[in-house]
Amino acid sequence: NRWKLAKRVGLGIVAASVFFYGVSIYNFRHPDPKQPFPDPSKKTLVILGAGWGATSILRTVDSSLYNVVVVSPRNYFLFTSLLPSTATGSVHSRSIVQPIRYLLRHKSHFVRFYEAECSDIDKDGKTVEIRRKTSDGQEFVQQINYDYLVCSVGAETQTFGIPGIEEHGCFMKEMWDAQKIRTRIMKCLEQAQFKDLDPETRRRYVHFVVVGGGPTGMEFAGEMADFINADLKSWYPELANDFSVTLIEALPSVLPMFSSKLREYTKSLFAKTNINIRTQTALKKVTSDSIIVEVTDPEVWAGGNRPRPLIKNLIESLNEQTNRRGLIVDDYMQVNGMPDVFALGDCTSTAYAPTAQVASQQGAFLGQLFNKLGSLDFEKPRVDRHIAIGEELDSAALISLANEKHASTKVFRPFKYSHQGSLAYVGHEKAIADLNVPFLDKQIHASGYLAFFFWRSAYLSELYSLRNRTNVLLDWIRTSLFGRDISSL
């Protein structure tokens, strides 16, 4: 009887899972038809970007309250946390991207998307200029009016103007960077086959130099060591003794955001897996004579962030903006000196680290703020009797009026970041985790296989959609069964 009951419960769980999966797939492929766009009675909310910050706003904001327009030069969201895995082929590139139109089509009301770059913001005329270049050299330029504007354009990779890095190095920021790294690795390996090569040149072809001991550099170094040990050594046995990975860090220590215990753990793990860490070693120049990138040494540059040109120009044009690292914003993420313009994530300069965790919490906060602003706007005369019907108030005035009126409860509370912890993969099926446990008011430090299992579960659950989760899970299974692909595509 017990066996029968267990069988029934088991079958019930399988049937429920299949049903849930089926409904999710049906919903994925059949979004509801949308209301016509635009509605002149509503304000226009323009969002620049399709990354962590922007998609988090889009998920939260009520699209029935605004005419929402999204502008981004790439039409997909990139799950950056698994980008180092795609550079070595442990995970396929398409598994970690989600088309932005998927998200937009599942909103209750129509949301317009332009695959274009915002090239200018006119704060007085309340317009943005967007540009799109076609492959035959044509350029589309368009102005879009906004009532509220959100800048979530992220940042570029910092190079500190080091000569040669743009020409000889590979960045680790966008999907095309990861693809470039992969192709470059495979081409170097094939070049190293030529038997007339002197041993020194051959070793250089398979010497991988990673610059920057932040989490991006460390995760890539760990992935690279896995690729070498699990796949490349057996596919290229004649090079087995020549492979090497060196990580260069200018500061005295790598991974400054992790606890000292986990930093030591990572260093000892890297020593065991033959990753040579050189701290207090700053890269100054990359030339064809330099040992680091001589001719074809595949070098990966993971040296931090710098503002994009759009943000740099804004900072230079505004007296209120005094920090060159990013836009200064207030507690409601309103940009200093730009009424009705908000900014979040890596394009801002705040007390928080430039992470996906911060950008997505800020995005959720802004989404809710717009929902409140949207509903207040409709009832404007009721917010404060002193406001004449039809009188335009900017977001700052609306927020402070509403807070004044409801002083005891406060309609709008300032943004508060809640740090959940830091996680990083360090290779050899091991990870490190500094986790905050709010109810214990304590931090847990974990490393090794258990942390690796947690890392995988956390990233799997954070991935954008069921399609992404299914693909990444299948990629991990594929890699452990068949190894990584070694074609030089």
If contact means CB under 5 to 8 A according to the sort of partner, which of ligand NAI, ligand FAD, none does residue 89 touch?
Answer: none
Among 49, 51, 154, 215, binds ligand NAI (CB under 6 A): 215
Phi, psi of 142 (to 5 degrees): -145, 150
d(CA 413, CA 152): 21
Give the count of alpha carbons within 13 A of 457, CB side only.
7
**Window 150-189: contact mask with ligand FAD (x via CB under 6 A):** --xxx-----------------xx----------------
* Residues near 413 by beta carbon (within 8 Å), at least 6 away in sequence: none
**Residue 71, interface with ligand FAD (CB under 6 A)?**
yes
What distance in Å separates the CA atoms of residue 483 and residue 489, rounded to the nearest whole number?
16
Q: Which is nearer to ligand NAI, 162 or 466 (CB)?
A: 162
By rule CB under 6 A, what string of x and - marks binding of each residue 307-346 to ligand FAD?
Answer: -x-x----------------------------------xx
Nearest in space to 151 (alpha carbons), one of 309, 339, 335, 319: 335
Bridge partners of residue 150, in order along the sequence: 47, 342
Measured from the CB atom, is 239 or 343 closer to ligand FAD? Answer: 343
What is the rounded distance in angstroms from the CA atom of residue 105 to the CA atom of residue 112? 10
Cβ closest to ligand FAD, residue 118 vs residue 293: 118
| Binds ligand NAI (CB under 6 A): choice among 54, 70, 211, 347 | 211
Q: Outline where DSSP puts E strands in 380-429.
A: 421-427
* Binding-site size, ligand FAD (CB under 6 A): 33
∠ CA 144-148-153 to the nearest 5 degrees? 75
Task: Assess 345 for contact with ligand NAI (CB under 6 A).
Answer: no
Residue 340's region, left for phi above 0, alpha for psi from -120 to 50, else beta, is left
Which tokens sit at 216? 């991006």
With CB cut-offs between 5 and 8 Å by kind, which of ligand FAD, ligand NAI, none does residue 49 bind?
A: ligand FAD
Residues 1-40 within binding reach of ligand NAI (CB under 6 A)? none
Q: Map the footprint of ligand FAD across residues 84-123, applying CB under 6 A.
A: 84, 117-118
Instruction: Count each helix (H run) and each strand (E run) in the chain, helices first.
Output: 16, 20
Q: Between residues 99 and 304, which has the closer beta carbon with respect to ligand NAI? A: 304
Cβ proximity to ligand NAI: between 395 and 468 the closer is 468
- Nearest partner of 331 among 373, 305, 365, 302, judged by Cα: 365
Helix (H) or strand (E) holding 406: none
Partner whose footprint covers residue 345, from ligand NAI, ligand FAD, none (CB < 5 to 8 Å by kind) = ligand FAD
Closest by CA position to 155, among listed 52, 299, 284: 52
Restricted to residues 269-288, the positions that interact with ligand FAD (CB under 6 A) are none
Which position among 48, 165, 192, 411 is part of the footprint of ligand FAD (CB under 6 A)? 48
Residue 472 found at the interface with ligand FAD (CB under 6 A): no
Is there a contact between 244 and 206 (Cβ–Cβ < 8 Å)? yes
List of residues contacting ligand FAD (CB under 6 A): 48-54, 71-74, 80-81, 83-84, 117-118, 152-154, 172-173, 216, 308, 310, 345-347, 354-357, 359
List of residues contacting ligand NAI (CB under 6 A): 160, 162, 211-217, 219, 248-251, 257, 282-283, 302-305, 353-355, 422-424
